[in-house]
Amino acid sequence: MSRHIDPEVEGRILAAARKLWRKGGEKALSMRAVAKLAGTNTPAVYRRFRRREEILKALVQSYQYDLFRIIESCKSIQEVAERYVEFALARPKEYQLVMSGLLPRVTKARPSLELATRKSAEWLGDRDGDYRALILVLAAMVDGAATFKITEFLSDENFAMLRPALRKAVDLLVENARQFRASG
């Protein structure tokens, strides 16, 4: 007798893995826990994902896509920076997974970075310009700010001081890029 293959199992597995990751991070993500929450058995999980790292890879890619969709709707570099921080603070475990050392091991793709770089040229009125360095500097600043808050390196009071200063720094870097382009 042939086994009934449920086409929705993989989606349930990934949804379960997302819930477990959000709740408890890496410690909560076991194949057995994923199977139980997905309403299936452990062999079914292993048939679709041979190792836990494959589930982590799928999670990284899905969180990258979530961030991509957020950036896709932005209308300026400043909005990208603000929404990036909001994503990180609203979903700290997911953000930390995306920014972990796992990302370089599972994929070279950086869809959000590529999108922000492409759109920055458009926003700055220079469709042929390459603003990758600007986006990398901004990403480093924004990641630093988000990481300070997520790890509780900064108190709420200090983070409240940092937010407007970060916005001003982003504005200054964007204006500098505009001026550099205009004088070039």
List, for residues 110-163, the tens digit of each pLDDT value. 888 889 999 998 899 887 788 899 999 999 999 999 999 999 999 999 999 999
pLDDT value for 181: 62
Helices (H) and strands (E) in the chain, counts: 10, 0
Are the C-beta atoms of 141 and 174 separated by less than 8 Å?
A: no
Banded pLDDT at 79 (limits 50, 70, 90): very high
Average pLDDT over residues 35-55: 92
CB contact at 8 A, 63 and 84: no
Looking at residue 127, its pLDDT comes to 78
Average pLDDT over residues 5-30: 87
CA separation for the pair 53, 103 (Å, rounded)? 11
Please give the average per-residue pLDDT across 103-111, as a whole number. 72
- Specify whether the CB–CB gap between 29 and 56 falls below 8 A: yes
User: Which DSSP state fits 151?
Assistant: T
* 55 class by beta-carbon count within 10 Å (0-12 exposed, 13-18 middle, 19+ buried): buried
How far apart are alpha carbons 31 and 41 in whole angstroms? 9
